[in-house]
Chains A and B, each alone.
Chain A
Amino acid sequence: MLAIKLAYRNLIGAGLRTWLNVIVLSFSFLIIIWNRGIINGWDRQARNDTKNQEIGGGQYWHENYDPYDPFTLTDAHGIIHETLKSNDNFAPILITQATIYPGGRVQSILLKGIEPDQKILTFPTESLKSDIEEIPVMLGSRMAENNKLKIGDFVTVRWRDANGTFDAADAKVVHIFKTDVPTIDNGQMWVPLQRLQKMMQMDGEATLVVANQKITSAPDLPHWLFKDQDFLLKDFAELIKMKNVGGYIMWLFLLLLAWIAIFDTQVLSIFRRQKEIGTDIALGMTRGQVIRLFTVEGAMHGILAAILAAIYGGPLLYLQAVKGMSMPEGTDDMGIAIAETIYPYYSIGLIVVTALVVLITTTIVSFLPTRRISKMNPTDAIRGKIQ
């Protein structure tokens, strides 16, 4: 208690010297939290968007389906199991390779058939409800931009049906949707499921079936393998892990800056305040008490920095959490889910852990130079003689 009281007095009494340190430390504090908040926000948003728009509560894959090998698509289809026919809980998707000819060019794509009335994924499949003669197709904005397609445009689609026969027809772009999940956008066109089944002569068949996020169990079904969210988000989790490593390096770097500031202040204090240390000892402080006093002083820099960071940083971080941070152009072509605007997410855990790590480490860093005090000769210290 005494150490806290005296340390507080010393810090407040030291004025500008204290505040300069505290300001530097509070910057570090804030940037550490902000940096982690951005990655957390991106992770959260991307996971949510991917779950809502692509993977749902998990997917049943046809046993031959391998998303990394398009040649498996020829065999990766089968009659949808009875269990998976509930429109409220499942959304079947049939996938096939096709070729389109936009503006005289040739472009290989994936044709994906989905039920326009499905309720599992949150992208606008209802736009596919159409009575037109041509194939109504819906595509993402990246795909539309890459192929210079607009709503109302026609494009020739060629595909190979279940019997290996090539066929072709005109498709009409009925809707272009904007999504943060590039894996439902790049190189693919969405068509009504039944239309695709008919085109492919695969009535009642699908390549995969997306489950509702609310389902609590996924029974084993013959020829259909259930892939849970963790499995389906594995690639993304790996990427976030990699980004986290980068984030931790930044985090460590900022902490290092904070430590150096504290360490430097402490070393300087012990040199400059030798006379004061000697006087403290002469007035009856034990060396242990002096060491505690200096350590608490260092640690208090951390506490004051946390308070200061909360005062000016709290509103700043809140503002950014609400307004979000616009991502630079081009990041949505990276093949992973990145929203145009990332809303940083600062969890209580992040703030508490960061505060504890900064406080504990600054206390340790404060303590290290103070061990020198125990080697001081008090009679020399009183005279301010450099030791």
Chain B
Amino acid sequence: MMENNQLITIQNMAKDYPVGRGYFRALNDVNLTFKRGEFTGIVGPSGSGKTTLLNIIGSLDVPSEGKTTVLGQSIGELSHKKAAKLRNEHLGFIFQTYNLLPVYSVYENVEFPLLLLGKNAEERKKAVMDALEWVGLTDKLKSRPAQLSGGECQRVAVARAMVKKPKIVLADEPTANLDAENSHNILQTMEKMNSELKTTFIFATHDDKVKKYLHRKISLEDGRVVKDELVEGMGNG
């Protein structure tokens, strides 16, 4: 299905948004491939199209032109249900503002994707505890998001993204709201998961702290890919 471990292929992709009577082109002529185990950042200034690209890869949005294939499925042709199934089974999301469910405890937030997957209680408990151990939050099982610090919230979000061991994790500005120490902790955790589980991480970021961890850096400007480079000495042997 996917040659050379290619999980994502993007060909001549463009995305337009209606503005007034016309259209604004947020992405233009994007051609990219992502392989298994990548730790890649999409960098660029605000408005360059990073989040749009991430949303399309995450099947939350569809391209206006071109073809985007994620795990062999063409995003533009997926029904709502199939897109939801793809996200549910294979994709993990980490958001800038954490997007934790406020009325759930830490445990329940992390457990949520597993409930959607229909895992039984025993499987869920084991997976949730493993994920929380990974991010070092086993002592906060019953806390609500409002009782946690920003760094802790993002660690819960990472645990939630990783609990189902997805093939791809999409992180939109995951460190933008965190201080340096928390940012490094989060990034180190993600890097560890990437190396141990071979999960593909794709970040949208303009945070220099993140850039230091990236193995591959894709630069966007005005919706176009202007540079796609491997970072030397970062596992690109």
Interface residues of A (CB under 8 A from B): 2, 5-6, 9-10, 12-15, 275-276, 278-289, 378-379, 382-384
Q: Which residues from A are CB-within-8-Å of B91? A: 284
Question: Is the beta-carbon distance between A6 and B55 smaller than 8 angstroms?
Answer: no
Residues facing A in B62-114 (CB within 8 A) are: 80-81, 84-85, 87-89, 91, 93, 95, 97, 99-104, 108, 112-113
- Contact among A5, A284, A379 for B61, CB-based, below 8 A: A379
B84 partner, pick from A12, A15, A279, A285, beta carbons under 8 A: A285
Q: Choose one: B55, B102, B104, B113; the contact of A284 (CB below 8 Å).
A: B113
- Does the CB pair B115–A284 fall under 8 Å? no
Which A residues touch B112, using CB under 8 A?
Answer: 283
Q: Residue on A with the closest CB to B51?
A: A379
CA distance A275 to B145 in the complex (A): 14
Bound Cα distance from A12 to B101, whole angstroms: 13
Which residues from chain A contact B95 at a C-beta distance below 8 Å? Answer: 279, 282, 382
Inter-chain CA distance A166–B180, complex, in Å, is: 116
**Interchain CB contact under 8 A, A13 and B104:** yes
Chain A hits for B81, CB < 8 A: 286, 288
Residues of B within 8 A of A10 (CB): 103
Query: B101 touching A284 by the CB < 8 A rule?
Result: no
Contact, CB under 8 Å: A275 / B99? yes
State how many residues of chain B have any CB contact under 8 Å with chain A.
31
Tell me if A284 and B85 are in contact (CB < 8 A).
Answer: yes
The smallest C-beta distance from A53 to any residue of chain B, in angstroms, reads 60
Task: Give the residue among B58, B81, B89, B103 with the most A Cβ atoms within 10 A.
Answer: B103
Q: Would you call B116 and A382 a contact (CB within 8 A)?
A: no
Is A284 touching B116 in the complex (CB atoms < 8 A)?
yes
Check B148 for interface membership: any CB of A closer than 8 A.
no
With CB as the reference atom, state the residue of chain A lying closest to B103: A13
Contacts of A283 in B (CB 8 A): 87-88, 93, 112-113, 116, 160
Chain B residues within an 8 Å CB radius of A275? 97, 99
**Quick check: is B60 within 8 A (CB to CB) of the other chain?**
yes
Nearest first, the 7 A-B pairs at minimum CB distance are A284-B88, A13-B103, A286-B84, A279-B99, A284-B87, A282-B93, A284-B116
A17 to chain B: closest residue by CB: B103
A-B contact pairs, 12 of them (CB 8 A): A6-B115, A13-B144, A275-B99, A283-B87, A283-B116, A283-B160, A284-B113, A285-B116, A287-B84, A379-B60, A382-B99, A384-B97
* Neighbouring B residues of A278 by C-beta, 8 Å: 99
Kindly provide the distance from the CB of A56 to the nearest chain B CB, expressed in whole angstroms: 63
Cβ contact of A5, chosen from B101, B115, B144, cutoff 8 A:
B115
Q: Across the interface, do A14 and B103 meet the contact criterion of CB distance under 8 Å?
A: yes
Interchain nearest-CB distance for B51 vs A (Å): 8
Complex Cα distance A172/B100, Å?
A: 88
Query: Nearest residue in B to A276 (C-beta to C-beta)?
Result: B101
For the complex, give the distance between the alpha carbons of A5 and B124 in Å. 14
Bound: A15/B146 CA distance, A: 14
Chain B min CB distance to A373 (Å): 12
Complex contacts, B85 vs chain A, CB 8 Å: 284
A12 nearest in chain B by CB position? B103
Cβ-defined contact, B104 with A282, below 8 A: no
In the bound complex, residues from chain B placing their C-beta under 8 Å from that of A6 are 115
Q: Are B108 and A9 in contact (CB under 8 A)?
A: yes
Task: Tell me the smallest distance from the CB of B177 to a CB of chain A, in Å.
Answer: 14
Q: Is A378 touching B60 in the complex (CB atoms < 8 A)?
A: yes
A20 and B103 CA atoms in complex are apart in Å by: 16
Q: How far is the CA of A286 from the CA of B103 in the complex (A)?
A: 21
- Minimum CB–CB distance from A348 to chain B (whole Å) comes to 36
Closest CB-CB distance, A271 to chain B, in whole Å? Answer: 15
- 11 additional A-B residue pairs with CB within 8 Å, beyond A283-B93, A378-B60: A2-B118, A12-B103, A14-B103, A275-B97, A283-B87, A284-B88, A284-B89, A284-B113, A285-B84, A286-B81, A379-B51
